[in-house]
Chain A
Amino acid sequence: MAQPGYYPGFSTLGQQKFWDAKTRQVVLDRVGNVPEVRFFSPQEACLLNAVCDRVLPQDDRDESHKIPIVPQIDRRLFENSHDGYQYEDMPPDREAYQLGLRAIEKIARHRYGCGFLEIGPQEQDEILRLLHDGKPSAANDIWKRVPVHRFWMLLVSDCTDAYYSHPWAWDEIGFGGPAYPRAYMRLERGEAETWEVTEKRYDWKAPENSVSGEFEPVSGQLEHLGSPGQGGTH
């Protein structure tokens, strides 16, 4: 399979000799040393893997270029690392994940009569859309302890953190990556550096049977949804 995105042949890793040594070490470690699963049980890890495959689908990537998501989430939870705060109405992240996974499994059984792993990707998407819409059809006891919109945002942002911190994702979206000590010189009009690739657009479409290709606001009272822990921007 070709590299996804509009920047064919762009490789940030191909520029690694221009990076400073510490950055090179950190990024190469991320690519080369995928951590073992230590926090989740094998069953939980398997279920989370299926969930992450739909929250951040990678069907258009070949097996050797799929970006590991679950190992990154597992490491964060194993090390008990977080963004420095916990919502008053949320349990700690570890507990939230274990409860959220149980709830997803319950919804699958309630809706389809079998587990999340046994249903097809479209049905899996439908279940995740219920979380996105804030209307889970089962496991209300769990959602009383873990507000569904907060769990959804925790899950999605952990998945995007893992995916978009990976140099293969930078290649996909045309992000130049580390730039010290070399610098950027072409700052305006979206111009590419000599070592970057110019965008070549084509008509990209999500797979027809997926429900996650459209944009709908996340559920809940919007004002409550602010600040899910994004890196500060100003």
Chain B
Amino acid sequence: MKSPLLGEFHPPGGKPHMLGSIQRIETPMHRFSEGEEVDYAIVGVGVGAGGGVLLQRLARAGFRVIGFDAGPFWDTERDWVSDEKGAHNLYWNDLRITGGKHPLAFGANNCGKGVGGGTVHWASFTPRLHPSDFRTHSTDGVGVDWPISYSDLKPYYELMELELPVSGPSYFPWGDPHGYPYGPHPMGGVGDALIRGCTKLGIGVSAGGPVAILNGSRGDRPHCIYRGFCIQGCKVGAKASTLITHVPDAIENGAEIRPNCMVSRIHIGRDRRVTGISYFDPEGRERFQKAKAVVVAGYSIETPRLLLNSACPGFENGLANSSDCVGRYLMAQAGNVVLGRFEELVRMYKAPPAHALTEEFYETDPKRGFARGFAIQTVGPLPMAFARQMMTAKGAWGWGMRSVMMDYNHWASFGFLGEILPHAENRVQLAEEKDRLGIPIAKATFTLHDNDQKLIEYGKNKTMEVMWAAGATEVVQEVRYAHLVGAARMGSDPETSVVDQFGRTHDIANLFICDGSIMPTQGSANPGLTIMALAARTADYLIREGNEVFTSHKPNSDKPAMRRDLSPPDTRGHGMPRI
């Protein structure tokens, strides 16, 4: 067929702002007038996994709230493409300096820019942390214990799994066993290889999830079409991102999104409380927004950068930094990519990159000689990413690059996802360089330690073993780090942490953090779902505290009751978990 029967495809015409192929924002957005004081300003990158969920809940509870985002408010039909190179503008491409013995890559690797943040380009694997992740110090003598336990977060995991929602098996056997509200996705060639390899070695494997992609339509979101461009932004609207799951409801309830606004400084008043923020508007003019409270949601690099850049008399080392922990304990997960060539065709560009995984090696096994563990997951690099992997994994260039790329359709790839422990010297600081607005940029330093290196060596080899068992005739791997968390960690002790269990900074009563930077350790689970669950919990706390947040200097540490009535419409009572 040379053309579609009804003629070539055109975008839906007219003005409405499209979020996915069907959902459109009908309600005009509320705009707060200049000089008006709002209850909450959510700032940083702003409206990503944590910021999006928090914004939605605060708006629904009746607070006057603005979400500042340094990037655009995407219209997915107008702005996004089904193209690897064309997706470059989804990522945080502003300059950062990266160093240490094992420097991290940023941008497409782990940082989004624009409403939805990283959830716009995540592969959307959404496993929970295991109960053991919350007490690694007590049980394994490494890392640090969280100020909360798995049971504190479990109801929020369940709630987020409904709100996104998450597709996956009806029985997920690892950690705290549970089922998923939407059924598993069909397999692609890479998932088949992972299942084949794991089965041959007697390793349990979860097929078709957990992944925040719709396998059936729901409300105004259609089901997945298996085109494989998940990390280039889901034009379909099947893959969950807060852009399409939470932001529309936030706007419906009176929240304002202020896109293309880069926040440069948080201001402190005479009573050592936050009074508002400075930001650069889309035209580059510096403006002030008055707010009764500020929530920083900029993720592990931009959150510490903003806190450090907001240093002022009384807070010479940056805001909320009396512990000297702002920027410290930065973590990435080990994310080596293992690639296997098969005699038969795979065509790994089809199906979502995220569709099968195993957590069989997640927990500490003393026999392995290191603490903590790892997961093995499917990945599906498109040609540009695959060529770079062939460059590092095989040293390919010239005719060698051309010939191995001609075999692209014969390769499958697994991602090893390993827990790297928090270390104080892995950190974010300010560099000497400034960005185009004159704001000092971030510099990250990252170095692996002994346990990390042992874990990576073992996990990498195990992942390669699975690839061989799947029937590959050649197996290679590249070093890589995935995801970021930490750099403003939570804890009970203000001497060794930045925020408390609700995301409230120990030092400033009306300054909060709501993103992955507050995670004290990271497990071997992709962090997105945990960030959202923590955000929903922070929201419950803020809503229960009400106006106390804006006046009190004495933080209340009682846990809030969970509010089930704040979910976006059409997400309650649908897709009950089986167990």
Residues of B within 8 A of A165 (CB): 83-85, 383-384
- Give complex CA distance A212, B397 in Å: 6
Within 8 Å of chain A (Cβ to Cβ): is B178?
Answer: no
Residue of B108, B381, B387, B481 ringed by the most chain A CB atoms within 10 A: B387
Residues of B within 8 A of A108 (CB): none
Q: A85-B106, A184-B226 are in contact. Are A5 and B406 (CB under 8 A)?
A: yes
Of residues 366 through 421 on chain B, the ones whose CB sits less than 8 Å from some CB of chain A are 377, 379-389, 391-392, 394-406, 408-410, 413, 415, 417
Task: Tally the A-B contacts, defined by beta carbons under 8 Å.
Answer: 329
Within 8 Å of chain B (Cβ to Cβ): is A33?
Answer: no
Within 8 Å of chain B (Cβ to Cβ): is A100?
Answer: no
Of residues 168 through 200 on chain B, the ones whose CB sits less than 8 Å from some CB of chain A are 186-189, 192
Q: A183-B225, A188-B189 are in contact. Are A234 and B401 (CB under 8 A)?
A: no
Q: Give 1 or 0 for each of A190-222: 1 = CB within 8 Å of chain B CB.
A: 111011000100001011001111111110001
Within 8 Å of chain B (Cβ to Cβ): is A187?
Answer: yes
Residues of B within 8 A of A176 (CB): 347, 349-350
CB <8 Å contact, B225 and A180: yes
CB <8 Å contact, A21 and B10: yes
Query: Shortest beta-carbon distance, B139 to chain A, in Å?
Result: 27
Q: A183-B227, A229-B388 are in contact. Are A189 and B82 (CB under 8 A)?
A: no
Within 8 Å of chain B (Cβ to Cβ): is A232?
Answer: yes
CB <8 Å contact, B479 and A226: yes
Main DSSP-derived SS at the B contact region: loop
- Give complex CA distance A162, B346 in Å: 24
Within 8 Å of chain B (Cβ to Cβ): is A9?
Answer: no
Within 8 Å of chain B (Cβ to Cβ): is A64?
Answer: no
Residues of A within 8 A of B383 (CB): 164-165, 169-170, 173, 175
Query: Shortest beta-carbon distance, A172 to chain B, in Å?
Result: 7
CB <8 Å contact, A21 and B2: no
Complex interface: stretch among A37-45, A51-59, A109-117, A138-146? A51-59
8 Å CB contact of A20 from B82, B103, B400: B82
CB <8 Å contact, A172 and B406: yes
8 Å CB contact of A232 from B77, B97, B482: B482
8 Å CB contact of B98 from A88, A156, A170, A181: A88
- Give complex CA distance A117, B400 in Å: 22
Residue of B7, B104, B189, B406 ringed by the most chain A CB atoms within 10 A: B406
CB <8 Å contact, A132 and B413: no
Residues of A within 8 A of B92 (CB): 84
Of residues 1 through 45 on chain A, the ones whose CB sits less than 8 Å from some CB of chain B are 4-6, 14, 16-23, 26-27, 30
CB <8 Å contact, A233 and B225: no
Within 8 Å of chain A (Cβ to Cβ): is B4?
Answer: yes
Residues of B within 8 A of A55 (CB): 397-398
- Give complex CA distance A234, B416 in Å: 9
8 Å CB contact of B227 from A132, A156, A180: A180
- Give complex CA distance A191, B344 in Å: 10
Residues of B within 8 A of A210 (CB): 398-399
Within 8 Å of chain B (Cβ to Cβ): is A160?
Answer: yes
Residues of A within 8 A of B110 (CB): 232
8 Å CB contact of B95 from A85, A217, A225: A85
Residues of A within 8 A of B386 (CB): 164
CB <8 Å contact, A17 and B379: no
Within 8 Å of chain B (Cβ to Cβ): is A71?
Answer: no
A selection of 5 A-B contacts at a CB cut-off of 8 Å is A21-B11, A89-B99, A172-B405, A206-B403, A228-B391
Q: Which 8 A-B pairs have the closest CB atoms?
A: A212-B398, A190-B345, A84-B107, A88-B99, A226-B479, A206-B399, A183-B225, A227-B105
Interface residues of B (CB under 8 A from A): 1-4, 7-11, 21, 77-86, 88, 91-111, 121, 123, 125, 186-189, 192, 225-229, 231, 235-236, 335, 337, 344-347, 349-351, 353-354, 377, 379-389, 391-392, 394-406, 408-410, 413, 415, 417, 443, 448, 478-482, 526
